Structure 1
Amino acid sequence: MKKILLSGLLLAAVTVAKAQNAEVENAEKMVMLKQLDKAKESIDKAVVHPKTTTLPHTYMVKVQVYTAIANDTSRHNLDYDPIQIASESLKKAKELDVKKSISEEDLKNASFNLYAAGYNKGLGAYNKEDFKTALKYFKFASEMNPSDTSLYLNTGIVAEKINDKESEEAAFTKLADMNYDKEPYIYKALYDIKKNKGDKEGAKAILEKGRSIFPTDNYLMIEELNMYLAEGKSDVIVDKLNKAIAADPSNKTLQFTLGVTYENLKKPDEAAAAYKKALEIDPNYFDANYNLGALYFNQAADIIKKANMLPTNKVKEYDVEKQKFLKKAGEATPYLEKAYAINPKDRNVLISLKEIYSRTGAKDKYAKIDAELKALGE
C-alpha cells in the first residue's frame, strides 16, 4: 500500500506538475490564437501553483499575456493595469532566473514589447486629451527604453499641459543632459522653470547650453541678452560674439546673431553692418536678407509716421521727410526682394513688400504681392 500510495503521490505530483506546465503552455498557445481571456486564466493559475510559481519561464509567459492584453485596444475600463502587471512579472522572472535560463534576446524582446505597449498607451491617452494617463505611460516607456529621446520630449510636453513642473523639468533635463539638438523648446522651458524657481545659476547654465546648441534661436538669444542687460553686462554678449567671430570669421550665423544682438540693443547701424557681413559670406542667407530689409523698412515706417504727424501747412517739411522715407524704403527693397526670391511664401516678407510698393507707387508689383498674400489667406 505504501508503494501504491507513493506511486500515486508521485503520479499525482507529476500529473499536477504537467497540468500546471500545461497551463503555461496553454497560455502561450492562447496568446498566439488571440484568445486572451483564456490565456490570462491559464497563466494566473500557473503563477500560484507550487510547481510553477518559482519558474522564471512562468513569469515570462505572464509578461507575454499581459502585454498582449495591454495592446488589445478593444479592452476598456479594466480593473487592473496589464502593463504594470507585465512589468512586475518581468522583474520577477529576472529575480528567479538565478541559472540564467532566459536568453538575453528574450529579455530584450520582452522589455521592448513593454516599452512599445507603454508608448502606445500614452499616445492613445494623449489623443483623447487624458494627459494624466499619458504622462504615466510615457514615463513608464522611457524607463523601459531610456535612449528614446522622443519619450522624454513627450513626457515634458504632457507634464507642462497639466502643470506638473517637477516631471516637466526632469524630462527636459534628461534631454539637455543628452545634448538634445532637435528642439530648442526644451531649453526655453527649462530656463523658464529654473528662473521662476529663483535658480539663477541653473537658469544661466541651461540658457548658455541652449544658445550653444541653437545659436540662431531668437527666444534664447533675446533671453540671454535680457539676462546680461539685467546684470548691466550688455557688453558681455557682444564681446562673446566678437571673440567667436574672430575665431570663425566665415561663420554667417555668428554675424547674423551679432546683428540681432545690436538690433535689440537699439544700435541699428551696427546691426546693419553685421547683417551685411553675413550676406558677404552668403548672399542667399534668407534670415540676414529679411532682417536687414526689415530693419530699413521699420526705419522708413518711422520716418513716414513722423511726416504724417506734421501739420497740413508744413508741406515743404513733409516733402523732405517723404524723400527720406523713399530713400530708406529704397534701401530696404532689394533685401526684401532677395528674401522673397529665396522664400516667396514667407508672409512677413510679402506684407513688408506690399507696404513698400503701396507707399512708393509700384502698382504692378503691389498687385502681384497682394494677390499672393490673398492666395495664402491673408
Structure 2
Amino acid sequence: MKRIFFVSTLSLFSLLTFAQSAVDQAMLDQAKKDKEKSDKSIQDEKASAKAATWMERAQLYQNIALQYSQLDSNAAMTAYDAYKKVVELDKTKKGEPGRSAKEAQGVLEGAEGTNLYTAFVKQGAEKYQAQNMTEALKMFQMAQQINAKDTTAALYGGISAQQADKKDVAVEEFEKYISNGGTDPSVYYGLAQLYRADNKFDKAISTLERGLAKSPDNKDLKSEIVNIHLASGNEDMAINQLKELTAKDPSNVTNMVNLAILYDNSAIKQSTKIRELQEKMGASSNTMDAKKKQLEEEKGKIEVYQNEVKRITGLMKKQPKNADLKRQLDEVNQSLETTKSNVTKYEGEVSAMAAKASSGDQAAMQKEMADLKTQYSQYRDLSIDTYKKALAAEPENYDALFNLGVFYFNDAVELKREVDNMNMSEYQQRGKEVEGRVCGKFQKAKPYFEKALKVRPDEEEAKSTLENVNNILTQFTEKKVECVAE
C-alpha cells in the first residue's frame, strides 16, 4: 500500500524539538536529581499515600517530557498516571475532590494553560523521528484523550498508524481529524486512498467530496474522484466528472486527453459486446442447424433398424430355437425404440428453437444489437473529436498523438477480422475491397505514431508500433493491395 506523507509533519516536529545546546546543564542535572527523588518517594508507604507527592511527580514528569526527554521518553505517560493518582487521593472530608484533585482533573481534561497535551504530542513526535511508529501512535492517542477536539494529534496519529501498517486505526484517526474541522486536502486524499484500497469506493468518493467542500479548487481531489470512479468500474460517472472539469478549465489538455481515453475505452467495450452478441446469435443459428442434422440422422436409423428386424424375424422362422437370433432381435428392437424416442425428443427441441427464433428473444437481441451499435458510434465520434480538440490546443501532446494512432490502428485490426472470417467465395467477391480499406486505416494511423515519436524519440512503445505499421503496409504493397482512405 502506498503511504501518504504530509508537508506539515516536518514543521510540527521541528517546532516541538528543543535544541539540546540550549538546555542549561545545571537545570538538566537538577531535573535528573528531582526525578530520582520522586521515583524513590513513591516507594515510601507514607509519602505515596499523599496527593502532594503525586502532584509534584506529575508536574516534574510533565516538565521532563517538555524539556528533558532524554531522561525519560515516556515521561508524559508517567505524568498522566500521576495526575490520575492525585484525583484519586485528594478528597475532602465530605468525599468531594480537593483543590489539588480539581487542578489535576483540569490538566487531564486539557484546561486552558495546561501543557500535558503538548507533552504527549512532543514525545509522540520524538518517537516518530526514532521510527517507533507504534509508540508514537500511543502518544498521539493519549494526547487526544486530553484534547479530543484538536486536529494535530489526530493528524499525526493517523500518519503514525499508517506507517505502522495499522490501516483501520489510520482511518479512524484521519476521520477524527476531519470531524474536528481539519482542512488539509492531503488528508482527504490519503483517507480516500485507504478506502479505495479496501474497495470502499463510495466512502472514498464521499471523503474526496468532503475535501472539495473545504478546498473547492483542489485539482488533486477532483482528479482522484475520476480515478476512483474508474477503479470501481463506473466509467459513466468518470466521464461526467471529467466533462465538468474540462468545461471549467478548457485549457487543461490532460483532462481533455483523459476524457478522450474514456470515450475510447467505452467504444471498445461496446465493440466487444457487439462481437459477443453476434457470436451468440450465430451460435443459436448453428445450434439449430446441428440439431436438425441430428434429427435427420436419427430418422435414418429407424429405417435401418426396421429392416434389420425384418431380416432377423425371417431367419427365426427358419430357426425358431436359435437363442442367438432371439438375443439379436431383442437388441435391435431396443435400439429401434431408443431411436424413436430420440426422434420425438429432437423434433420437440427443433420446434422449440424455431419458436424461440421467431419470438421476442430474437427481437430483443436485435434491438440490443442496434442499441450497442448506436452507443459504439457515439463514443467513437466523441473520442476522435476530443483527441482532436486536445491536439488543437497542444499539437505536440504525446498521449493524444499516440492514442489517436492506436484508435485508427484498432479500427484497422477490427476490419481485418472481417476479412479473416470470410470463406473463399466471400473473399473472391469483396475481399480485396475490404483489404484496401484495412490498409487505408493503417495508413491513417501512421502519421500519428510518427509525430508521437518526434515528441518523444526514445519512447519504445511508439517505436515498435510504428515499425509494426510499416511492416503491415509493406505486406499490403507486396500483395498489390491499393489502400483506400475513408
Q: Is the TM-score greater than 0.5?
A: yes
Q: Deviations over 1:314-358 (max 9, x none)?
A: 9978786456334313224435644x4xxx9xxxx8233332454
Alignment of 1:1-378 (within 5 A): 32-33=28-29, 36=32, 38-45=33-40, 48=47, 53=52, 59-65=58-64, 70-71=69-70, 81-89=74-82, 95-96=102-103, 107-108=114-115, 111-126=117-132, 132-140=134-142, 146-147=151-152, 151-158=156-163, 161-162=165-166, 164-165=167-168, 167-177=169-179, 178-182=182-186, 184-193=189-198, 195=200, 202=203, 204-206=205-207, 208-209=209-210, 213-214=218-219, 220-225=225-230, 229=234, 234=236, 238-239=239-240, 241-242=242-243, 245-246=246-247, 249-250=250-251, 252=253, 255-266=256-267, 267-278=379-390, 280=392, 283=394, 289-299=397-407, 302=410, 321=438, 324-335=441-452, 337-338=454-455, 340=456, 350-356=459-465, 358-359=467-468
| Partners of 2:243 and 2:266 in 1: CA distance | 15
Q: Deviations over 1:71-110 (max 9, x none)?
A: 459x8xxxxx43411344577689427999xxx99745x6
- Select between 323-332 and 352-361 the one with higher mean Cα deviation: 352-361
Q: CA deviation at 1:181?
A: 2.0
**Aligned partner of residue 184 in structure 2, secondary structure:** coil
| Partners of 1:295 and 1:195 in 2: CA distance | 31
| Partners of 2:241 and 2:265 in 1: CA distance | 16
Residues 155 and 171 in structure 1, CA contact (< 8 A), matched pair in contact too: no
| Partners of 2:158 and 2:387 in 1: CA distance | 34
- Residue 84 of structure 1 aligns with an amino acid whose one-letter code is M
State the partner residue of 1:365: none
Which is greater in Rg?
A: 2
Gaps of 5+ in 2: 1-23, 87-99, 268-378, 421-426, 471-486
Residues 142 and 148 in structure 1, CA contact (< 8 A), matched pair in contact too: yes
Change (3 A) 1:155 1:174: farther
| Partners of 1:55 and 1:291 in 2: CA distance | 69
| Partners of 1:359 and 1:118 in 2: CA distance | 59
How many residue pairs match? The answer is 296
Residues 259 and 272 in structure 1, CA contact (< 8 A), matched pair in contact too: yes
Q: CA deviation at 1:115?
A: 1.4
Change (3 A) 1:294 1:148: farther
| Partners of 1:71 and 1:268 in 2: CA distance | 67
| Partners of 1:319 and 1:247 in 2: CA distance | 43
| Partners of 1:34 and 1:297 in 2: CA distance | 77
| Partners of 1:355 and 1:229 in 2: CA distance | 32
- Residue 40 of structure 1 aligns with an amino acid whose one-letter code is K
| Partners of 1:360 and 1:34 in 2: CA distance | 82
Residues 252 and 278 in structure 1, CA contact (< 8 A), matched pair in contact too: yes
Change (3 A) 1:29 1:70: closer
| Partners of 2:401 and 2:154 in 1: CA distance | 38
| Partners of 1:256 and 1:94 in 2: CA distance | 66
Residues 401 and 449 in structure 2, CA contact (< 8 A), matched pair in contact too: yes
Higher relative contact order (CA 8 A, sep 6+): 2
Quote the RMSD (CA, aligned, Å). Answer: 5.1
Q: CA deviation at 1:118?
A: 1.2
Identity %: 17
Q: Deviations over 1:110-146 (max 9, x none)?
A: 64343121122134344xxxx5445434544666773
Change (3 A) 1:58 1:262: same
Change (3 A) 1:140 1:278: farther
Change (3 A) 1:32 1:276: farther
Residues 241 and 258 in structure 1, CA contact (< 8 A), matched pair in contact too: yes
Gaps of 5+ in 1: 1-27, 76-80, 362-378
**Aligned partner of residue 152 in structure 2, secondary structure:** coil
Change (3 A) 1:271 1:148: farther
Q: CA deviation at 1:41?
A: 1.2
Q: Deviations over 1:22-58 (max 9, x none)?
A: xxxxxx987613874x442123356747888179665
| Partners of 2:200 and 2:40 in 1: CA distance | 55
Q: CA deviation at 1:296?
A: 2.5
Residues 259 and 274 in structure 1, CA contact (< 8 A), matched pair in contact too: yes
Change (3 A) 1:275 1:136: farther
| Partners of 2:68 and 2:62 in 1: CA distance | 10
